[in-house]
Amino acid sequence: MEGTEQTEPKSSVPAGNDAFVVADARIPTTRDDVADAEGKVVAAEAEVKAAVAEVKAAEEERKAAEAQVKAAKSEEEAAEAEVKLAKGEVKVAEAKVNVAEGEFKLAVETSREAEAAEHKAKDQLLAAQHAFDNCSTEEKSECSVRLQEATATFRRAHRHTQRAEEGRQDARQSVQYARQSWLDARQSLKTAQQSLKTAQKSHDGAVDVLNSLQAMFTSTRGGGGSKAYGNRDVVDSLAEKVSGLEISHSAAGYTTPPRPPSARLKLRNDIKLWCIPFDGHRGSEQAVCNLPEECSWAVLVDYLSSLQWQKHRVGSKGPTLDADGKINVKKAYYTSTDEKRPRKSCTSTTQFTQFVKWYECLPRNAAVKLVLWNNATLSPPPSPGDAGSHKLNDDACLGMATEYLKTDESVRTTLQKFGGSAEEVFGITKLHGLDILAFKDGSPCIHTDAIERGAKLAWSNEGSVMQILASNRPEVQAIIGPSGAGKSTTVYRALAREFGCYLDAAARETTRAFMRNVDHKLRSAQVYPEGKRGAVARRCIMLAHLSLLLVLRRFKELVPMCTPKQWTYLMISASASKYLLHASIDDVLHNVFVALEPINNDFFLHTNLKKLTTQLHCRLLYLDEAQEYLNLDGFGTFTGGTGTAFRSILSPLLAIPDLVVSGTGLNLQQVAVELGSHAAKEEPMASPQTNEESPRETEKAHSRRRLARKSLLSVPGCNLANVAAFLNMYGISSECTDVMMSLRGRARLVANCVRQMLMTKKEWDDSVFTACAAQVLTEYTSELVRIMSEHFSSNEFVKRSDHVAVNYQHIAISLLNCAVYNGGCFQANCNEVIDFIDASMCMLQKAENGEFVAFIQEQAAIDALFEICRKWKVSPLLLGVIDHMHNIFTDRAGQGLDFEYLFIADVAMRALRPDATEQQRKIVFGDLASQLPAGESPAWPGWRHNDWFEIVDCRQQKCKKEAMTLQVFLQNCTTGVYDNRTGPLFCLPETAAGPDIVALLRDREGKKILWMTQCKRWSKNLGGEAYVKAVNTTLPTELYHRNRMPPGRENKQNGIRTLCESHFSKYLAVLCAVPTRTSSASTAPLMPDGTHFVFIDENILSEIMSDKGFSAAKNRTFINDL
C-alpha cells in the first residue's frame, strides 16, 4: 500500500555472532531447569507412595475405631441392663419396706391388745385376791378356785404381752433393715445410672473418633493424604481420645523418629509400696506385692483393680466397689508418707512416666502410698485429701460402740450364751465314758477341758501364774519357752483367776474379722514415718484393748454373776474359728473395733482404758504368740525403747503398761534388753566416747539386766509326777514308767497323748497307752526336725560369751552330750543357744538368781537332735567326748570319766552295730562273739541307729533318797522295766560296785548276757596288784567286794550274787587298759564259770576306734603334768 510505512518485528535474539553468545549462555540454565523438574517428579512420586501408605493406615484405624464403637455400645447396653436391674431392686426393696411397715403396724396393734388384756387380767387377779382375802370360811374354796383361774389367766396374758413385745421389736428391726436395703438399692441405682452415663459418653466419644477418622480417610483418598497425617499433634490428640487404641507410627510412614517406649516401673526393695481407696478407713491399706520386677501402667492398673476391699471400710465418698469388693481403677494419686497430701495423679502412660521418674528419685526406706479412684476424668469429691479422714470425734466413736453393745439383740444373745457353763459354751463329746469339752467339729478340746477338771491338780506352772498375778509385779512381763511347754495354758489359768484381756497375735489366719483387722492395722504402721510408727502400733493395740473392755462391761451387765473363767472362754472362742461360738463373738468384737477405729487421740484412749480397767477390776492385757511380732519383713522396723533403730514392732508394744507377752523363743536377747529398758525408765544421755568406760552406762546396763531377769518368766514343764497326775485326771493309769518318762517336759506331749487315748476305739491298756505315746513322740519329733531344718539351713557361726565362735553343729553336739552324759544341764549361757531355743529344742527354767537355765531332757527333743545330726553326717556323742578330752583344762579325773564315755561311743557301739565285722566283734567280745546273733545287733534291749544309746548314771547320788544303784539297775533289767527301750542301755555304777560300765547283751537264743567293763588310762603299763584288782572289778563274784566289809555290805553283795546267778548264765568281763599291761600280768587270770574275759590295750583299740577317738584315748597330757 502506497504511502504506508512497513516495520519488521523485533527479534529477542541478537543478530550475527551475538546470537550465538546468548544461546551458549542460556543452555546451562535450561539444563538446570530440566533437572529441577525431574527432581520434583521424583518427590511427587514419593509423596504419592506415602499417601497410599497413609490411606492404608487410615483404613486400619477406621476399622479399629469401628470395633471401639461396638465395644462402647456393648458397655452401654450392659450399663442399661444394670440400670433396669437396679430399678427392679429398688421396687422390690420398696415393696419389702411396705410389707415390713405393715407387719410393724400389726405388731404394734397386737402389742396394744395384749397389754390391754394383761391390764384386764391383772385387775381380775387383784379382785380375786381381794375376794379371797375377805371371804368367809365357807366361800374359801370357791374363791381359791377363782384366784387360781385369775392367776393362770394373768400369766397367759403376761406371756402373750412378752411375745407381742418381742414381735414388735423384731418388726421394728425388720423395718430398719428393709429401709436400709431400700437406701442401698437407691444408691446402687444411682451408681448404675452414673455408669450408664459414662458408657454413653464413651460410646459418643468413640463415634466422634470414628467420624473424624472417616473424614480423614475421605480426605486422604481425595488427594489430601499428606496433609491429613502431616500434623503429628492431631494424630496424638486422636490417640488420646480413643481409649486403648495404639497407633503405629512406622506403619503410617512417618519420616520423624518414633516415640520412645512406655515407661516401666522397676520396684525397689528398699521402698514400701501401699495402696488405699479414696476415703478408705485408716488401717485398711494393703501392701503392693507380687508384681513383676518391671511393670507398665497397664499391668499396675490390672493389679490394683484385682485387690479386694471391705465395703464397710470405704467411706461414702470413696470409689464404687463391685460385688467382689474390687475397684475398677482408672486413676491413682501418689505420695510419699512424709508428705501431707498426694502430689499428682496418674491416669495415662505419659503421667505414669512422671511417676516412675519421681519413684526412682525417692530416698532409701521411703514409703509410697497410692490413693485409688475409679474415674479417669472426674476427681473424687471434694479433692484427693488424706485417705481415711473422718469427721466423727472420739466421743462419738465411743458412743457408737457403746450404743451398739446396748441395743443390738445379737450382742445380748451372744454374751448371755457365754454366761452359761463350759459345756454350753464349747459343747461336749462323750468318749470312753467321759464328757469332754470339744471343738466345733467334735474333737476333744483338752486345754480347756483340763482347766475345768484340774481345780485340784498340782500344776507345774503354778509358780509362774502367781508371779503374773502378784501385786508387786513389773509393769511388763514376758513368758518365754519352747513350743508346747504350756505358755498359753499359763495365761489361761491366770485369766481364769482374775479378769484380764487376751489377744492372740497368731489368730489372724484363723479368725474372720477382729484379729485380722488388728493385724492389718499393725502392718500398716510401717507406712508412717519412722518416728510415728511406734505410736501408731501402740494405738492399734490400745483400740483392741478398749474393744475388749467395752464388751466386758456389757458382759457384766448382762451376766451380773459372771466369773473370770467365763470371760476367759469368751476371749478364747474369739481367737479361732475351731470354737463353737467363734463367729458370733468375732462379729461383736469386730463391730466394736470398727466403731472405735477412727479414734486418733492417745490421751483419750489412755484415759478411757484407765477408767475401765479400774472400774472392771481388769488390770492386765495378755498378748499371746507374740513371736509373730518379731517378723521384720511383715511388720517393718521400729525404734526401740533405748532409741535403737531397726527393732521389731514388739519393741514399741512393750511400752504399754500392765502387759504380759507370751511366745515361743521370743529372742531372749531382744526381749530382755527391751523389757529392762522400759522398766528402768532411765533418762536419755549422751553416749560415752569411744574406748572410754562410763560408770553411768555400766550401771544402766546392769540395771536393765536385773529388771529384765525380774520381768522374764518361764514355764518349767512337767515332771514324771505331773504326767502321772494329768493321766489319772482322765482315768488313765499305767505301770509303764519309762513310757511316762518319755512324755515329761512339755505339757503338750501328755495332752496329745490323752487326746490320742480318747480318740482310739480300743479298750485302754498298757499296750494302747504305749502305742499312743509312741505316735505322739514320732509326730512331735518330726515337727521338731522340720523346725530345726528351717532354722539351721546353713551352718552359721555363733559368737559365745568367751568370744570363741562356734557353729550350729558344735552347739548341737554339746546339747546332745549334755542330754546324754550330764543330765541335760547346760554350762553355756542361754544367749549362745538362742537359735535352738527359738527352734523349740530346749526347755527353760528360771534359777534362783534370776538367770535362765536351758536344758534338754525330753525324748522327742533328743531324738530330733540325733536325727538332725545324722542329716549333718556327724557323730555327736563321740565328737563331744573327744573335744572335752583334748581340752587341756580337763583334769585327770575328768579325762578318766571321759574315757568311759569314749569307750561306749567309739568301741562298744561299733561292736554292737548290725553290720559290725567279725574282727570288730572278736576284739570286744572275744570267744563269746560266736554265740551272738549274726547279721543283727546283740544290743539289749534294742537297737536304733549308730549314735543312739542311753546312759543310767549311778555316780554322785548320795544326796538322793532313792538313788539309782547297780543293784537297782539289774533288778529293773530283769523285771521288764527297760524292755520298751529302743536302744542300747549302759549303766555307770557307783564306785563301791566295782566296774566302770555295765550293759547287757543278747545271745542267739535271746538270753541275757551280763557285760562288765573296767577302763584304765594310766601314764604307765598296768601290772601287779593294780592289775589283779582291775580284773576283779569285772567279775560277778566280786561285785561290792571289800577286804573290810562295812555293816550291811555283805548282805548287799550276797543279794546281787543271787540276782546274777538267778538270771544270767553267761558273763563278759572286759578290761581296757591304756597303754597296756606289764609282761607279768599277761597270764590269763582264773575266771568263774560261764565268764569270758577279754583284754584290750591301745594297740587293739587302734583296730576298732576312729582316728580322732584313738588320738583322744592315747593322749596322756594332763594339766597336772604341765
Helix/strand/coil (H/E/C) assignment for every residue in 14-52: CCCHHHHHHHHHHHHHHHHHHHHHHHHHHHHHHHHHHHH
Residue type, 365: N
Question: What would the mean pLDDT of 1095-1106 be, rounded to a whole number?
Answer: 91
Residue 1007's pLDDT band, with cuts at 50, 70 and 90, is very high
pLDDT over 50 at 150, yes or no: yes
Closest C-alpha to 755, from 732, 721, 738, 736? 732
pLDDT over 60 at 678, yes or no: no
What percentage of residues in the chain have a pLDDT greater than 70? 74
Query: Among 146-160, 180-194, 560-574, 666-680, where is mean pLDDT lowest?
Result: 666-680
Q: Which residue has the higher pLDDT, 1114 or 687?
A: 1114
Which pLDDT value is given to residue 1? 43
pLDDT over 50 at 385, yes or no: no
Which pLDDT value is given to residue 887? 57
Question: What would the mean pLDDT of 1093-1118 be, rounded to a whole number?
Answer: 81
Q: Which residue has the higher pLDDT, 750 or 37?
A: 750
Residue 1052's pLDDT band, with cuts at 50, 70 and 90, is confident
pLDDT over 80 at 171, yes or no: no
Question: What would the mean pLDDT of 285-290 be, rounded to a whole number?
Answer: 81
The three three-digit cell numbers of residue 141, written as one number: 374354796
Which pLDDT value is given to residue 675? 67
Greatest mean pLDDT among 411-425, 513-527, 707-721 lies in 411-425
Which pLDDT value is given to residue 1115? 64
Greatest mean pLDDT among 154-168, 197-211, 535-549 lies in 535-549
Contact 437, 427 (CB under 8 A): yes
Which pLDDT value is given to residue 771? 92
Residue 730's pLDDT band, with cuts at 50, 70 and 90, is very high
Question: What would the mean pLDDT of 464-489 be, rounded to a whole number?
Answer: 88
Residue 237's pLDDT band, with cuts at 50, 70 and 90, is very low
Closest C-alpha to 947, from 983, 900, 896, 997? 983
Enumerate helices (H) and strands (E) in the chain, giving the number of each: 38, 24
Closest C-alpha to 841, from 821, 814, 822? 814
Residue 941's pLDDT band, with cuts at 50, 70 and 90, is very high
Strands 1008-1017 and 997-1002: antiparallel
Element (H, E) at 335: strand 331-336
Residue 908's contacts (CB-CB under 8 Å, 6 or more residues apart) are: 924, 984, 986, 997, 999, 1013
pLDDT over 50 at 5, yes or no: no
Contact 655, 456 (CB under 8 A): no
Sequence-ordered alpha helix ranges (H) in 135-255: 140-219, 225-228, 232-241, 249-252
Report the phi/psi class of residue 424: left, alpha or beta, with left for phi > 0 and alpha for psi in -120 to 50: alpha
Question: What would the mean pLDDT of 45-70 be, rounded to a whole number?
Answer: 69
Q: Which residue has the higher pLDDT, 987 or 28?
A: 987
- pTM summary value: 0.57
Which pLDDT value is given to residue 559? 93
Contact 319, 372 (CB under 8 A): yes
pLDDT over 80 at 1077, yes or no: yes
pLDDT over 50 at 959, yes or no: no
Give the 3-state secondary structure of 477-503.
Answer: EEEEECCCCCHHHHHHHHHHHCCEEEE
Residue 819's pLDDT band, with cuts at 50, 70 and 90, is confident
pLDDT tens for 604-633 read: 999 999 999 999 999 999 999 888 888 888
Which pLDDT value is given to residue 378? 67
Residue 873's pLDDT band, with cuts at 50, 70 and 90, is confident
Paired residues of 541 in beta bridges: none
Residue 703's pLDDT band, with cuts at 50, 70 and 90, is low
pLDDT over 70 at 697, yes or no: no
Residue type, 542: M
Residue 134's pLDDT band, with cuts at 50, 70 and 90, is confident
pLDDT tens for 519-562 read: 888 988 888 887 788 899 999 999 999 999 999 999 999 999 99
Q: Which residue has the higher pLDDT, 201 or 240?
A: 201
Paired residues of 1072 in beta bridges: 1015, 1096
Dihedral sign of CA atoms 262, 263, 266, 272 in order: negative
Question: What would the mean pLDDT of 387-401 be, rounded to a whole number?
Answer: 67
Which pLDDT value is given to residue 641? 60
Q: Which residue has the higher pLDDT, 372 or 60?
A: 372
DSSP calls for 645-709:
SSB-THHHHTTSSSEEEEEE--THHHHHHHHHHHHH-PPP-PPPPTT---HHHHHHHHHHHHHHH
Query: Among 321-335, 673-687, 1009-1023, where is mean pLDDT lowest?
Result: 673-687
Give Cα separations from 134 to 126, 131, 138, 370, 561 (angstroms).
Answer: 12, 5, 12, 85, 42
Give Cα separations from 1082 to 921, 1031, 1092, 1104 (angstroms).
Answer: 22, 12, 16, 21
Which pLDDT value is given to residue 221? 43
Euclidean distance between CA atoms 511 and 573, whole angstroms: 10
pLDDT tens for 883-919 read: 665 554 445 555 556 788 889 888 999 899 998 999 9
Query: Among 24-33, 153-162, 680-689, where is mean pLDDT lowest?
Result: 680-689
Query: Among 929-938, 977-986, 1009-1018, 1059-1068, where is mean pLDDT lowest?
Result: 977-986
pLDDT over 90 at 291, yes or no: no
Euclidean distance between CA atoms 130 and 143, whole angstroms: 10
- Per the prediction, the chain carries an average pLDDT of 77
